[in-house]
Each structure stands twice: as C-alpha cells, then as structure tokens.
C-alpha cells in the first residue's frame, strides 16, 4: 500500500495533509484547547444563536453584539455546541486548517506546476506562527483565513 501511495500523483498533497494532521495532534497534546481574551464572546454568541439565555456583554470581555454582524462562524459551530461547550469552534478551526492547507497546495501547484514547491508552500503555511499560536483554539481565525485564501 505504501508503494502505491508513493507512486500516486497526489503523494505530495497526502504528505502535506498528513503533516497537518500530525501538527494538529501535537498542538492539542502540548497546549490543549486554548482560550484567549475574546474566546468566551464567541462561545456566548453560539449560545445566543441557539436561543439560550446569555449575556450580550461578557464581564471583562468585548461586547458580543459586534460579532452578530458576522454570524457564519457561530452558526457553523452551533450544531456541536450541545456535545461540549465551544467544541464547534475547535472542530471548524481544524476543518478550515485542513481545507486552507489544501487550497494553498492547489493554488501553488496551479501557478507553478510543481508539486514539490506546492508541498513546501503548504508546509510553510501550515506551520506558520499564527496557526500554531491561535489558529487551533476557541477563535474564528481559521474560518477567516480559509475564506481569504478561497477568494483567491
């Protein structure tokens, strides 16, 4: 099976996505699910969209009413909120991490027609400090980065 993968025209893409998977596991094992200053605001916003009683102004945090104008990420996270509070934000950030790395690979391959260069571009993107720092946490950055790349 390994020889079949090594002969595959998508072997570089598989390597890139495998590295993303390994990196995701390492980040979660080392740091866990991290919260930042406005993480609670995003979680409260998901609760608000689900019709739960929640504060519009979070004590010590930003006013979530400013996030209501950007509802997509909170609405995508809502189905998972019942499983664990804030889990939807984590799941979608991991999904957007994979998808945006895939897009970086495909865009680079499309421009340069070189799969090795596309692999290097996707590795540089996937291991960038913003992803390692806040990308896989209770935030909405992953979705924003994905849609910016998708617009290219």
- Whole-number pLDDT of residue 20: 96
- Residues contacting residue 77 through CB under 8 Å, at least 6 positions apart: 42, 46, 86, 87, 88, 89, 91, 92
Band of the pLDDT at 56, cuts 50, 70, 90?
Answer: low
Where do the H-state alpha helices sit in 7-84? Answer: 11-31, 39-49, 72-77
- Whole-number pLDDT of residue 65: 67
- Whole-number pLDDT of residue 6: 65
Q: Return the biggest CA–CA distance within the chain.
A: 56
Q: What is the mean pLDDT of residues 58-65?
A: 61
- Whole-number pLDDT of residue 98: 97
Residue 109 has pLDDT above 60, yes or no: yes
């Amino acid at each position: 099976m390994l020889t079949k993968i090594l002969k595959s025209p998508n072997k570089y893409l598989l390597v890139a996505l495998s590295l993303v998977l390994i990196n995701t596991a390492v980040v979660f094992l080392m740091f866990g699910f991290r919260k930042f200053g406005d993480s609670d605001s995003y979680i409260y916003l998901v609760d608000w969209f689900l019709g739960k009683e929640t504060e519009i102004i979070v004590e010590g945090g930003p006013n979530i009413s400013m996030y209501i104008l950007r509802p997509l990420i909170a609405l995508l996270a809502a189905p998972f909120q019942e499983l664990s509070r804030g889990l939807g934000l984590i799941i979608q950030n991991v999904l957007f991490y994979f998808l945006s790395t895939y897009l970086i690979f495909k865009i680079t391959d499309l421009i340069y027609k070189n799969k090795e260069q596309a692999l290097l571009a996707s590795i540089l993107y996937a291991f960038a400090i913003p992803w390692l720092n806040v990308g896989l946490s209770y935030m909405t950055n992953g979705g924003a980065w994905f849609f910016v790349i998708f617009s290219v």
